[in-house]
Amino acid sequence: MAATASSPAVPQAKAGVAPLRAGQGHSFLLRRLHSLTGIIPVGAFLFEHILVSNATAISGPAAYAHQVRFLASLPLVPVLELFGVWLPILFHAIVGFYIWYRGDANLVAYPWAGNWMYTLQRWTGGIAFVYILWHTYTMRFTGIDLHEHPGASFGKVQNEVVAPLLLAFYAVGLIAASWHFAYGIWLFCAKWGITPGEKAQKRLLVACLGFFLVLSGVGLASLTSFRSHPQQPTDPAGARIVEMGPGATE
Protein backbone atom coordinates (compact mmCIF):
# COMPACT_ATOMS: atom_id res chain seq x y z
CA MET A 1 0.00 0.00 0.00
CA ALA A 2 1.42 3.42 -0.99
CA ALA A 3 2.42 5.81 1.77
CA THR A 4 0.20 8.85 2.40
CA ALA A 5 0.53 11.97 4.49
CA SER A 6 -1.46 10.29 7.23
CA SER A 7 0.51 7.05 7.07
CA PRO A 8 4.15 7.83 6.28
CA ALA A 9 6.37 5.04 5.01
CA VAL A 10 8.34 3.26 7.70
CA PRO A 11 12.10 3.54 7.00
CA GLN A 12 13.66 0.20 6.16
CA ALA A 13 16.74 -0.89 8.08
CA LYS A 14 19.84 -1.27 5.95
CA ALA A 15 21.34 -4.70 5.60
CA GLY A 16 24.43 -5.48 7.57
CA VAL A 17 25.64 -4.66 11.04
CA ALA A 18 26.63 -1.17 12.07
CA PRO A 19 30.22 -0.85 13.26
CA LEU A 20 30.64 -0.84 17.01
CA ARG A 21 32.05 2.22 18.67
CA ALA A 22 34.33 2.46 21.67
CA GLY A 23 32.79 0.88 24.75
CA GLN A 24 29.98 -0.95 22.92
CA GLY A 25 29.66 -4.66 23.64
CA HIS A 26 32.08 -7.52 24.02
CA SER A 27 33.12 -7.24 20.36
CA PHE A 28 35.01 -4.05 21.21
CA LEU A 29 37.05 -5.95 23.82
CA LEU A 30 37.73 -8.77 21.36
CA ARG A 31 39.01 -6.31 18.78
CA ARG A 32 41.27 -4.66 21.34
CA LEU A 33 42.69 -8.04 22.39
CA HIS A 34 43.03 -8.96 18.73
CA SER A 35 45.02 -5.79 18.10
CA LEU A 36 47.18 -6.33 21.20
CA THR A 37 48.02 -9.97 20.46
CA GLY A 38 49.02 -8.95 16.94
CA ILE A 39 51.92 -7.00 18.48
CA ILE A 40 52.60 -8.99 21.66
CA PRO A 41 53.30 -11.87 21.47
CA VAL A 42 52.55 -12.74 17.79
CA GLY A 43 54.45 -9.78 16.36
CA ALA A 44 57.38 -10.37 18.70
CA PHE A 45 57.48 -14.00 17.55
CA LEU A 46 57.57 -12.96 13.87
CA PHE A 47 60.29 -10.41 14.62
CA GLU A 48 62.47 -13.06 16.27
CA HIS A 49 61.68 -15.74 13.73
CA ILE A 50 62.48 -13.63 10.65
CA LEU A 51 65.11 -11.12 11.80
CA VAL A 52 66.97 -13.37 14.26
CA SER A 53 66.48 -17.10 13.75
CA ASN A 54 65.99 -17.21 9.98
CA ALA A 55 68.67 -14.55 9.47
CA THR A 56 71.26 -16.90 10.96
CA ALA A 57 70.71 -19.19 7.96
CA ILE A 58 72.57 -16.58 5.90
CA SER A 59 75.70 -17.51 7.91
CA GLY A 60 75.32 -21.18 7.03
CA PRO A 61 73.99 -24.50 8.39
CA ALA A 62 76.09 -24.56 11.58
CA ALA A 63 74.98 -21.07 12.66
CA TYR A 64 71.35 -21.98 11.98
CA ALA A 65 71.71 -25.21 13.96
CA HIS A 66 73.17 -23.32 16.92
CA GLN A 67 70.22 -20.90 16.92
CA VAL A 68 67.71 -23.75 16.81
CA ARG A 69 69.58 -25.49 19.66
CA PHE A 70 69.50 -22.28 21.71
CA LEU A 71 65.72 -21.95 21.27
CA ALA A 72 65.21 -25.61 22.13
CA SER A 73 67.27 -25.18 25.32
CA LEU A 74 65.01 -22.46 26.75
CA PRO A 75 63.20 -23.49 29.95
CA LEU A 76 59.64 -24.77 29.63
CA VAL A 77 59.73 -24.70 25.82
CA PRO A 78 56.36 -26.50 25.35
CA VAL A 79 54.66 -24.07 27.76
CA LEU A 80 56.29 -21.04 26.13
CA GLU A 81 55.25 -22.24 22.68
CA LEU A 82 51.70 -23.05 23.72
CA PHE A 83 50.87 -19.88 25.65
CA GLY A 84 53.36 -17.51 24.04
CA VAL A 85 52.96 -18.47 20.39
CA TRP A 86 50.34 -21.01 19.30
CA LEU A 87 47.32 -19.98 21.39
CA PRO A 88 47.86 -16.23 20.73
CA ILE A 89 48.23 -16.92 16.99
CA LEU A 90 45.07 -19.04 17.03
CA PHE A 91 43.13 -16.36 18.94
CA HIS A 92 44.41 -13.59 16.66
CA ALA A 93 43.48 -15.60 13.56
CA ILE A 94 39.99 -16.59 14.74
CA VAL A 95 39.06 -13.04 15.76
CA GLY A 96 40.63 -11.68 12.58
CA PHE A 97 38.54 -14.00 10.40
CA TYR A 98 35.47 -13.01 12.44
CA ILE A 99 36.13 -9.30 11.83
CA TRP A 100 36.73 -10.03 8.15
CA TYR A 101 33.45 -11.98 7.95
CA ARG A 102 31.51 -9.21 9.67
CA GLY A 103 32.94 -6.70 7.23
CA ASP A 104 34.00 -4.19 9.88
CA ALA A 105 36.24 -2.34 7.44
CA ASN A 106 35.12 1.17 8.41
CA LEU A 107 35.81 1.28 12.12
CA VAL A 108 38.07 4.23 11.39
CA ALA A 109 37.46 6.72 8.57
CA TYR A 110 40.37 5.80 6.32
CA PRO A 111 41.13 7.53 3.01
CA TRP A 112 40.69 5.55 -0.20
CA ALA A 113 44.31 4.34 -0.28
CA GLY A 114 43.99 3.36 3.38
CA ASN A 115 40.97 1.20 2.60
CA TRP A 116 43.02 -0.66 0.01
CA MET A 117 45.72 -1.28 2.58
CA TYR A 118 43.13 -2.36 5.14
CA THR A 119 41.75 -4.90 2.64
CA LEU A 120 45.29 -6.06 1.91
CA GLN A 121 45.75 -6.47 5.65
CA ARG A 122 42.88 -8.96 5.79
CA TRP A 123 44.11 -11.01 2.82
CA THR A 124 47.72 -11.09 3.98
CA GLY A 125 46.50 -12.22 7.40
CA GLY A 126 44.70 -15.18 5.83
CA ILE A 127 47.70 -16.11 3.68
CA ALA A 128 50.09 -15.78 6.62
CA PHE A 129 47.89 -18.01 8.78
CA VAL A 130 47.91 -20.80 6.17
CA TYR A 131 51.67 -20.36 5.76
CA ILE A 132 52.30 -20.58 9.52
CA LEU A 133 50.10 -23.69 9.82
CA TRP A 134 51.98 -25.45 7.03
CA HIS A 135 55.42 -24.39 8.23
CA THR A 136 54.66 -25.44 11.81
CA TYR A 137 53.24 -28.81 10.76
CA THR A 138 56.14 -29.75 8.51
CA MET A 139 58.90 -28.49 10.80
CA ARG A 140 57.55 -29.75 14.11
CA PHE A 141 55.31 -32.74 13.41
CA THR A 142 56.89 -34.51 10.44
CA GLY A 143 60.28 -36.14 10.03
CA ILE A 144 63.15 -35.75 12.49
CA ASP A 145 62.61 -33.88 15.77
CA LEU A 146 64.54 -30.61 15.50
CA HIS A 147 64.53 -30.09 19.27
CA GLU A 148 66.60 -33.24 19.66
CA HIS A 149 68.59 -32.84 16.44
CA PRO A 150 68.92 -29.11 15.62
CA GLY A 151 71.65 -29.90 13.09
CA ALA A 152 68.97 -31.30 10.79
CA SER A 153 67.03 -28.01 10.71
CA PHE A 154 68.85 -26.50 7.72
CA GLY A 155 68.39 -29.62 5.62
CA LYS A 156 64.77 -29.95 6.61
CA VAL A 157 63.98 -26.43 5.41
CA GLN A 158 65.96 -27.12 2.24
CA ASN A 159 63.68 -30.07 1.52
CA GLU A 160 60.72 -27.70 1.78
CA VAL A 161 61.98 -25.02 -0.60
CA VAL A 162 63.63 -27.23 -3.23
CA ALA A 163 60.40 -27.50 -5.25
CA PRO A 164 59.58 -24.29 -7.19
CA LEU A 165 55.92 -24.27 -6.12
CA LEU A 166 56.78 -24.65 -2.43
CA LEU A 167 59.49 -22.02 -2.76
CA ALA A 168 56.91 -19.63 -4.24
CA PHE A 169 54.49 -20.52 -1.42
CA TYR A 170 57.17 -19.79 1.19
CA ALA A 171 58.09 -16.48 -0.48
CA VAL A 172 54.46 -15.34 -0.72
CA GLY A 173 53.73 -16.45 2.86
CA LEU A 174 56.79 -14.68 4.19
CA ILE A 175 55.95 -11.43 2.37
CA ALA A 176 52.34 -11.66 3.53
CA ALA A 177 53.38 -12.17 7.17
CA SER A 178 55.84 -9.28 6.92
CA TRP A 179 53.21 -6.90 5.53
CA HIS A 180 50.57 -8.01 8.02
CA PHE A 181 52.90 -7.36 10.96
CA ALA A 182 54.38 -4.10 9.66
CA TYR A 183 51.07 -2.49 8.72
CA GLY A 184 49.54 -3.99 11.86
CA ILE A 185 51.92 -1.83 13.89
CA TRP A 186 50.47 1.25 12.18
CA LEU A 187 46.90 0.10 12.83
CA PHE A 188 47.73 -0.68 16.46
CA CYS A 189 49.17 2.78 17.08
CA ALA A 190 46.20 4.46 15.37
CA LYS A 191 43.58 2.44 17.26
CA TRP A 192 45.26 2.82 20.65
CA GLY A 193 45.76 6.57 20.30
CA ILE A 194 49.55 6.41 20.19
CA THR A 195 49.65 8.46 16.95
CA PRO A 196 46.57 10.73 17.16
CA GLY A 197 47.75 13.36 14.68
CA GLU A 198 47.74 13.07 10.89
CA LYS A 199 51.43 13.99 10.63
CA ALA A 200 52.41 11.38 13.21
CA GLN A 201 50.39 8.74 11.41
CA LYS A 202 51.98 9.56 8.05
CA ARG A 203 55.47 9.41 9.52
CA LEU A 204 54.76 6.11 11.23
CA LEU A 205 53.32 4.73 8.00
CA VAL A 206 56.57 5.49 6.19
CA ALA A 207 58.52 3.81 9.02
CA CYS A 208 56.23 0.75 8.91
CA LEU A 209 56.64 0.45 5.13
CA GLY A 210 60.41 0.57 5.63
CA PHE A 211 60.13 -2.10 8.33
CA PHE A 212 58.13 -4.26 5.91
CA LEU A 213 60.92 -3.99 3.34
CA VAL A 214 63.51 -4.98 5.95
CA LEU A 215 61.45 -7.96 7.16
CA SER A 216 60.66 -9.27 3.70
CA GLY A 217 64.21 -8.59 2.47
CA VAL A 218 65.85 -10.54 5.29
CA GLY A 219 63.31 -13.34 4.93
CA LEU A 220 63.88 -13.68 1.19
CA ALA A 221 67.64 -13.56 1.73
CA SER A 222 67.34 -16.48 4.16
CA LEU A 223 65.33 -18.45 1.58
CA THR A 224 68.06 -17.76 -0.96
CA SER A 225 70.63 -19.05 1.53
CA PHE A 226 68.75 -22.32 1.97
CA ARG A 227 68.68 -22.76 -1.80
CA SER A 228 72.32 -21.79 -2.39
CA HIS A 229 73.96 -24.26 0.02
CA PRO A 230 74.55 -27.93 -0.82
CA GLN A 231 71.89 -30.25 0.52
CA GLN A 232 72.38 -30.77 4.25
CA PRO A 233 71.62 -34.01 6.12
CA THR A 234 68.35 -34.66 7.93
CA ASP A 235 69.39 -37.80 9.82
CA PRO A 236 70.69 -37.87 13.44
CA ALA A 237 74.30 -38.74 12.52
CA GLY A 238 74.49 -36.05 9.85
CA ALA A 239 72.83 -33.54 12.19
CA ARG A 240 75.63 -34.03 14.74
CA ILE A 241 78.24 -33.29 12.07
CA VAL A 242 76.45 -30.08 11.06
CA GLU A 243 76.35 -28.93 14.68
CA MET A 244 80.10 -29.41 15.02
CA GLY A 245 80.74 -27.03 12.16
CA PRO A 246 82.42 -27.07 8.73
CA GLY A 247 84.98 -29.83 8.17
CA ALA A 248 83.82 -31.87 11.16
CA THR A 249 83.60 -35.64 10.94
CA GLU A 250 82.45 -38.24 13.43
Neighbours of 208 (CB within 10 A): 20
Query: Given this model, what pLDDT does residue 112 score?
Result: 60
Domain ranges within the chain, ordered by starting residue: 25-244
Note the pLDDT of residue 105: 52
- pLDDT at res. 5: 47
What integer pLDDT is reported at residue 159 of this predicted model? Answer: 94
CA dist 125 and 123 (Å) reads: 5
pLDDT at position 197, please? 87
At 157-183, the pLDDT tens digits run 999 999 999 999 999 999 999 999 999
Query: Residue 147 has what pLDDT?
Result: 92
Tally of CB atoms within 10 A around 31: 18
CA distances from 101 to 34, 126, 127 (A): 15, 12, 15
Which CATH number applies to 25-244? Answer: 1.20.1300.10
Q: Which residues of 150-166 are buried (b: 16+ CB within 10 A; e: fewer)?
A: bbbbbbbbbbbbeeeee
**Residue 250's pLDDT is what?**
53
d(CA 72, CA 70): 5
Positions in the chain whose pLDDT score sits under 70: 1-26, 103-114, 246-250
For the four alpha carbons of 98, 102, 107 and 109, in that order, the dihedral sign comes to positive
pLDDT value for 75: 87
Whole-angstrom Cα distance, residue 222 to residue 54?
Answer: 6
